[in-house]
């Protein structure tokens, strides 16, 4: 079973008519020629880039029903459907994308791609650098959320989509949705920002810092050139454990684990994993290592730390930055999310409201913490479905 | 300058008449004979034990003015005064202990000792095991907050103190104060519990787990036998960084660091320490390693995880456990402390109140997070001073 951030789901049924069915990841390659290189926010030029992507549903004749879905830190292009007819490997947002679901594939053409810097098919630090025939490692350029959007923009060009119906994403995916609204205000009629923020708090940067330090200080990290030897699994696993603490709320941890022991009722008086919460974190840490690259963890968390649209587009003012918005914006936050807290969504809503932009905000009561964005699907779906429907009949103010 | 948990203080003046002056750590050794061994909560018998302790002020004739102060995770016996006449190395609670201060050494005889399992003079995993002539390492027995109290009890016997005026402590020190109230209800007339809890939440256990995992997975850890080689500084430093995030509040991090960069205004587009909050954490991590033992970090955090007086004394019921209390109890919590949140103090207060015990609780508004217990000294001092005064004239109900 696939896990996006912290939570398992019920296994898929073999026949599931609310699913886009069996899907394959496809690949698009660009910037092969020097003149076609990506210009990154850092000022570096970069290419070639391969983008892993999937699509669900059908693009309509006037190409007006496309929705771009953006993934979070550990996600990838496989957002929905299964890998085979047995229902193996459901996409990370399979609950949200499919016939009749929030992103209804009977109505919309949904696209999801792996971010640049990633490790799930799109060019990143684990990709072979054609100039050296070695993996890039730390020679890969530091990328931003803006750079991720640039790559998605190229993909949309390739798919023949000039204007999206919506860009949607949770967590880091929500950052990409915000970035889209500001970088390409005309490229989408709506933006859906879930459990996200216009910039991380210093506390969230601090958690990312410790995660990166765990990787960087792992003796197997070898300055990022570990691909031919032991991977820095201890550092990456620690980073993931820290992440998981921040994805859950104090309350959901209390409900899920309390102070219960993994085995028996007596303390073991040693340093083995003993409380259920310990086992859970250790398990999540060790599982993550199997499917994720440590260098990508560095790049993607750094991109999140850098993300700050007030700084980039508003000279420090969020309101000034938000003047660029021309689309309808929906924000969803969750009451117990302390990683991307309600107050951060409120800041965005305030700025948009003062500018009389078309903004809708729902702070959903939930005890699940940041993970809520993957778990409160029923509530989210209802809101998203209505918002997308309304967007279809909405015309942007001139 | 000494740092207890997360915060620096202004340097001491050379002449400071509110200080106990220059103090030396003394040592008391017990349980040398087999028959005199400590019986630990784990069931193991252990000895010999050396206890590092300091005292400030004078014991009065009837030995009724003694106050035991208990230290937190990274503290030690040096709670007050300086190491030399120049005012070097002030004690970790120098702001609270001294003539005219909260624990007024003109009136009280204040004692502080390093906990068993510690690394600052009291027997712990870095102590040489007389049976092997090697440091104990992980052969040191896992100790509990109760075991820490047992060692303090022996010390008090040695000092000729049968009944304390008060036991006081913050954070893990507060756990010891609670433990004293339940394990030896007749041994003190009052207990002062600051920024503490009757048991850690699973979230706090989770943070401790990750800290321990960082140490245990450090390739220099060598199963705890690192004393003759490189110490596991990366693991211990990571553990400390995680700790520091939990000692500050989101708000205090915002005030202290915001998203400010350490140097200049432009991103460096690499993985060096860049945001001020990153530099702070890296600095705290690397400084801690100079003065603290990684094995002790394992033992002391484990003792905190195990602490659960409802389980130990009440068959799961906090109220049942609190029936044992015969003393006056003062609890102080801090509004922005999310590591030992207000609600946990409230639980203790509720249990004591329902039992009609003599309990006073002040939830102090503060933005400093858990660190507040070392920073809000003015407010705390006023409350503690009044509470101790009242305790002097208070007689326990029969």
Q: Which residues contact A291 (CB under 8 A, 6 or more apart)?
A: none
Q: What percent of chain A has pLDDT over 70?
A: 95
- Asked if omega into A105 is within 30° of 0 (cis), the reply is no
Polymer length in residues for chain B: 398
> For A89, how many CA atoms within 13 A lie in the half-sphere containing its CB?
13
Longest distance between any two alpha carbons in chain A, whole Å: 69
Helix (H, G, I), strand (E, B) or coil at B104: strand
Give the range among A295-309, B10-24, B163-177, B280-294 with minimum mean pLDDT: B10-24
Say what the pLDDT of residue A40 is.
Answer: 98
Strands B45-46 and A190-194: unpaired
Higher-confidence residue of B3 and A40: namely A40
Do residues A190 and A328 lie in contact, with contact meaning Cβ atoms separated by under 8 Å?
A: yes
Asked if the Cβ–Cβ distance from A201 to B267 is below 8 Å, we say no
The stretch A107-116 carries a mean pLDDT of 98
Do residues B146 and B48 lie in contact, with contact meaning Cβ atoms separated by under 8 Å?
A: no
CA-nearest of B210, B222, B232, B236 to B305 is B210
What ipTM, to 2 d.p.?
A: 0.93
d(CA A187, CA A179): 11
d(CA B265, CA B274): 10
Structural tokens at position A304: 């999140």
The stretch B115-122 carries a mean pLDDT of 98
CATH 3.40.50.1820 fits B26-200+307-392, yes or no: yes
Q: Is A378 exposed, middle or buried (0-12, 13-18, 19+ CB in 10 A)?
A: exposed
Q: What percent of chain B has pLDDT over 70?
A: 95
Q: Which residues contact A187 (CB under 8 A, 6 or more apart)?
A: A153, A156, A162, A163, A164, A180
Helix (H, G, I), strand (E, B) or coil at A139: helix
Q: pLDDT at residue B14 above 60?
A: no
CA-nearest of B203, B149, B141 to B172 is B149
> Apex CA A252: angle with CA A249 and CA A254, to 5°?
110
Q: Is A62 exposed, middle or buried (0-12, 13-18, 19+ CB in 10 A)?
A: exposed
> Apex CA A38: angle with CA A34 and CA A43, to 5°?
105
Query: A276-289 pLDDT, tens per residue?
Result: 999 999 999 999 99
CA-nearest of A322, A325, A329 to A391 is A329
Say what the pLDDT of residue B394 is.
Answer: 76
Nearest chain B Cα distance for residue A131, angstroms: 21
Higher-confidence residue of B397 and A200: namely A200
Say what the pLDDT of residue B18 is.
Answer: 83
DSSP letter (8 states) at residue A59: -
* Torsion angle of the four alpha carbons A117, A47, A226, A207, in this order, in degrees rounded to the nearest 10: -20
Mean pLDDT of chain B: 94
Q: Which residues contact A62 (CB under 8 A, 6 or more apart)?
A: none
d(CA A249, CA A328): 30
Do residues B75 and B117 lie in contact, with contact meaning Cβ atoms separated by under 8 Å?
A: no
Say what the pLDDT of residue B17 is.
Answer: 77
- What are the angstrom distances between the C-alpha of B363 and each of B90, B369, B373? 28, 12, 11
Task: List all residues of chain A from 154 to 183 with a beta carbon under 8 Å from chain B.
Answer: none
Query: B234-257 pLDDT, tens per residue?
Result: 999 999 999 999 999 999 999 999
Task: List all residues of chain B from 26 to 55 with a beta carbon under 8 Å from chain A.
Answer: 42, 44
Asked if the Cβ–Cβ distance from B216 to A271 is below 8 Å, we say yes
The stretch B170-191 carries a mean pLDDT of 98
d(CA A103, CA A108): 7
Distance of CA A144 to the CA centre of its chain: 13
Give the range among A85-89, A237-241, A326-330, B102-106 with minimum mean pLDDT: A85-89
Nearest chain B Cα distance for residue A151, angstroms: 18
The answer to whether the Cα torsion of B157, B163, B164, B166 is positive or negative is positive
Break chain B into its structural domains and give their ranges. Answer: 26-200+307-392
Q: What is the CATH number of domain A26-211+307-392?
A: 3.40.50.1820
Q: CA-nearest residue of chain A to B339?
A: A250
Query: A214-269 pLDDT, tens per residue?
Result: 999 999 999 999 999 999 999 999 999 999 999 999 999 999 999 999 998 999 99
Do residues B115 and B140 lie in contact, with contact meaning Cβ atoms separated by under 8 Å?
A: no
Task: List all residues of chain B from 235 to 264 with a beta carbon under 8 Å from chain A.
Answer: 237-238, 241-242, 245, 248, 250, 253-254, 256-259
Nearest chain B Cα distance for residue A227, angstroms: 19
- From the list A74, A113, A126, A171, the catalytic residue is A171
């Amino acid at each position: 079973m696939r896990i996006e951030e912290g939570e398992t789901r019920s296994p898929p049924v073999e026949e599931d008519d609310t699913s886009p069915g069996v899907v394959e990841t496809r690949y698009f390659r660009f910037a092969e020629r020097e003149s076609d290189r990506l210009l990154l926010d850092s000022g570096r030029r970069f290419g070639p880039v391969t983008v892993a992507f999937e699509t669900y549903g059908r693009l309509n004749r006037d190409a007006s029903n496309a929705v771009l879905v953006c993934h979070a830190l550990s996600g990838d292009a496989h957002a929905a459907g299964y890998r085979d007819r047995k229902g193996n490997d459901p996409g990370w947002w399979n609950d949200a994308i499919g016939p009749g679901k929030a992103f209804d594939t009977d109505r919309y053409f949904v696209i999801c791609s792996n971010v640049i810097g990633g490790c799930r098919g799109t060019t990143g630090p684990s990709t072979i650098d054609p100039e050296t025939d070695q993996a890039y490692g730390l020679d890969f350029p530091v990328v931003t959320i803006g750079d991720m959007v640039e790559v998605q923009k190229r993909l949309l060009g390739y798919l023949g989509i000039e204007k999206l119906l919506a860009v949607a994403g949770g967590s880091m995916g929500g950052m990409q949705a915000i970035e889209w609204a500001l970088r390409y205000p005309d490229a989408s009629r709506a933006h859906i920002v879930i459990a996200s923020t216009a910039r991380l708090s210093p506390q969230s940067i601090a958690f990312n810092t410790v995660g990166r330090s765990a990787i960087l200080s792992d003796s197997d990290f070898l300055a990022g050139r570990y691909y031919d030897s032991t991977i820095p699994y201890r550092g990456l696993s620690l980073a993931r454990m820290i992440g998981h603490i921040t994805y859950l709320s104090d309350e959901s941890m209390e409900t899920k684990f309390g102070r219960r022991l993994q085995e028996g009722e007596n303390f073991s008086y040693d340093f083995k994993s003993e409380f259920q919460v310990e086992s859970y974190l250790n398990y999540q840490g060790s599982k993550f290592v199997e499917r994720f690259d440590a260098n990508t963890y560095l790049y993607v968390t750094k991109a999140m730390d850098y993300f700050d649209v007030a700084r980039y587009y508003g000279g420090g003012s969020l309101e000034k930055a938000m003047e660029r918005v021309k689309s309808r914006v929906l924000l969803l936050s969750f009451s117990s999310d302390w990683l991307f807290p309600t107050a951060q969504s409120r800041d965005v809503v305030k700025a948009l409201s003062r500018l009389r932009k078309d903004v809708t905000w729902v702070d959903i009561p939930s005890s699940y913490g940041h993970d809520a964005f993957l778990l409160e699907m029923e509530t989210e779906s209802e809101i998203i479905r209505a918002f997308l429907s309304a967007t279809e009949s909405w015309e942007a103010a001139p």
